[in-house]
Amino acid sequence: MELKTLTIVVVVLSFALYIGIAIWSKARSTGDFYVAGKGVNPIANGMATAADWMSAASFISMAGIIAFAGYDASVYLMGWTGGYVLLALLLAPYLRKFGKFTVPQFIGDRYYSKTARIVAVVCLIIISFTYVAGQMRGVGIVFSRFLEVEILTGLIIGMGIVFFYAVLGGMKGITYTQVAQYCVLIFAYMVPAIFISLQATGNPIPQLAFGSEMTGEGMYLLSKLDSVVQSLGFTEYTEGSKSTVDVFFITAALMVGTAGLPHVIVRFFTVPKVADARKSAFWALLFISILYTTAPAVGALGRMNLIETIQPGEVGTATGNIEYSQKPAWFNTWEQTGLLTFEDKNGDGRIQYYNDKNEAFKAKADSYGWQGNELKVDRDIMVLANPEIAQLPNWVIALVAAGGIAAALSTAAGLLLVISAAISHDLVKGVFVPQISEKKELMVGRMAAAFAVLVAGYLGYNPPGFVAQVVALAFGLAASSLFPAILLGIFSKKANKTGAIAGMIVGIVFTLSYIIYFKFMHLELNNAEHWWFGISPEGIGTLGMMLNFAVAIIVSKVTAPPPAEIQHLVESIRVPKALS
């Protein structure tokens, strides 16, 4: 069966599974719609959390970043996994004990203020729409290549699927759909990883292949990759180029942002007991680690396969030139998506792939008659293209397409539901129409989800960067806005509504302004020379978080303390149930 037909069959079958689960688990109350009736088993919730968490950034983009950035990409691995430790220890059990539906509801009640709740909703919507833009871009990339349609067409299909099971099933439908999506995405990620690891090193375990010798080379994978990329003028793969300050700030932003992401936090509201929240965090981290410990090998092998396909090796010509191949078959198909481009600058019909910004190597390349780098690769395609580059069977390639879509849709659905709940439960019922009936609230929630799907589709079509970069910005926004308010709300009796509101506003405004300035208004200044203290937009959320904490604590000290009942509430949240 040809690849396109096989891919359509696999993707349609996976969609049928998701829709079937949504129909089976249709939400029949606001409790079902917002928190799945608080009856989800911790293992199932851990699997659903992993799928919610391992978005298109994890499945599609992270290994692509590792492939091209090498050591510098370690910040994503450290930040995105370390954040779950913070979440499990500092937030999950306490928020579950509080027992509400949403993060803004916790902030509104803890800080005894509708204004605080509204500010939290605004922060949540900004974070969620930034995050969901990356997911919808991932959907468009997968569809545009494997179903051979325009990215816009792919987005519309993806939006339709998400609309159906998010709007119909609510959190209950999304939870069990995400369990299925986790199974699909992890199988789709591991199968090609095992194939390629075995092919390159003879070791079927990707985590071990990463440190193994390459078959017939007599060199370890990373040593060979260092040698190859340096011979093309690129930075050594195992050496970092980021400053220590930026590494710290990006890692911290990703870690703290993880603990402050509303669509992840809400998953811990869905389990029956407080103890189950901790168990869910454990299972989620275990399920997540399978992919995250595999990604470095996938990235390294993907970079090696790309270079060896484009550059078969030295030929020993009189000029010392490197013989570059004609375009391989996989190249032609990806070129049609516009995510891979080749410009034959010197008219020799061959692909010259090298770092033409490296002045030392550029002089050498000029002596070969090369007139600049001719290959541009969108890093988001590496995981999806890797099986084709390695010439794996069509069924593996089709499986990867289904996995990429599952990863993007699972997170998109969780984000859209969080946006929906923020509008219907926190704004409409919590602030503007408190007497609204449950049936009407459910209808408003579904209407809000439908609107959010449309906005998400637009952002997916016009994203502010590649998938993982867009997602990293969302983490920075979460770190600088919601996390300090939640943490102080749990552990500080003295934090009051004025401090929390001021802190959230300062944190989100500062971080968002910094991101907009460097990512949209002055892209030409987006480099370490112009960043404040050498902190990139991906890491600025850490500084925003510090400002949030400082403002919240200082303002709380100079204004009236919280009422006695609120201080008692803070104490009771941290007391084990048996003693409370």
DSSP string, 27-87: --SHHHHHHGGG---HHHHHHHHHHHHS-HIIIIIHHHHHHHHGGGGHHHHHHHHHHHHHI
Q: What is the mean pLDDT of residues 11-24?
A: 78
What does pTM read for this prediction?
0.81
pLDDT tens track for 236-269: 899 888 899 999 999 999 999 887 877 777 777 7
In the numeric block, the tokens 């981290």 are attached to: 285
Distance (Å, whole) CA 73 – CA 366: 31
**Per-residue confidence at 31, pLDDT binned at 50, 70, 90?**
low
**Element containing residue 284 per DSSP (H, E):** helix 274-292
Q: Is the pLDDT of residue 26 over 80?
A: no
Measured between its terminal Cα atoms, the distance across the chain in Å is 63
38: left (phi over 0), alpha (psi -120 to 50) or beta: left
Q: 245: buried, middle or exposed (CB in 10 Å: 19+, 13-18, 0-12)?
A: middle
CA angle (18 as vertex; 131, 39 as ends), nearest 5: 80
For the chain, what are the domain ranges?
3-31+59-302+386-579, 304-375
Q: How many residues does the chain have?
A: 580
pLDDT tens track for 508-533: 999 999 998 988 788 788 888 899 99
Give the Å distances, CA to CA, from 169 to 46, 157, 417, 454: 19, 18, 10, 18
For 3-31+59-302+386-579, CATH gives 1.20.1730.10
**Residue of 381 and 502 predicted with greater confidence:** 502
Looking at mean pLDDT, say which of 417-421, 430-434, 551-555 comes out highest. 551-555
Q: What is the mean pLDDT of residues 23-43?
A: 68
State CA 472 to chain mean position distance.
7
Q: Is the pLDDT of residue 464 over 60?
A: no
Looking at mean pLDDT, say which of 139-143, 310-314, 498-502 comes out highest. 498-502
Cβ density class 252-266: b for 16+ within 10 Å, e for less: bbbbbbbbbbbbbbb
Q: 579: buried, middle or exposed (CB in 10 Å: 19+, 13-18, 0-12)?
A: exposed
pLDDT tens track for 395-425: 888 888 888 877 777 777 777 778 888 888 8
Instruction: Taking each helix axis as running N to C, give the angle between helix 274-292 and helix 151-201, from 0 to 180 degrees, rounded to the nearest 10.
Output: 70
* CB 33 within 8 Å of CB 171: yes
DSSP string, 87-123: IIIIIHHHHHHHT-S-HHHHHHHHTT-HHHHHHHHHH
Q: What is the mean pLDDT of residues 181-209?
A: 92
* CB 30 within 8 Å of CB 442: yes
Distance (Å, whole) CA 77 – CA 487: 24
**Per-residue confidence at 314, pLDDT binned at 50, 70, 90?**
very low
Give Cβ neighbours of residue 160 (< 8 Å, ≥ 6 apart): none
pLDDT-wise least confident of 45-54, 171-180, 387-396: 171-180
Task: Count the Cβ atoms, other than its own, within 10 Å of residue 578.
Answer: 5
Q: What is the mean pLDDT of residues 124-140?
A: 79
pLDDT tens track for 275-295: 888 888 888 889 999 999 999
Give Cβ neighbours of residue 402 (< 8 Å, ≥ 6 apart): 7, 10, 11, 14, 184, 188
Q: Is the pLDDT of residue 36 over 60?
A: no
Distance (Å, whole) CA 564 – CA 114: 18
**Per-residue confidence at 8, pLDDT binned at 50, 70, 90?**
confident
Among 136, 129, 135, smallest CA distance to 57 is for 135
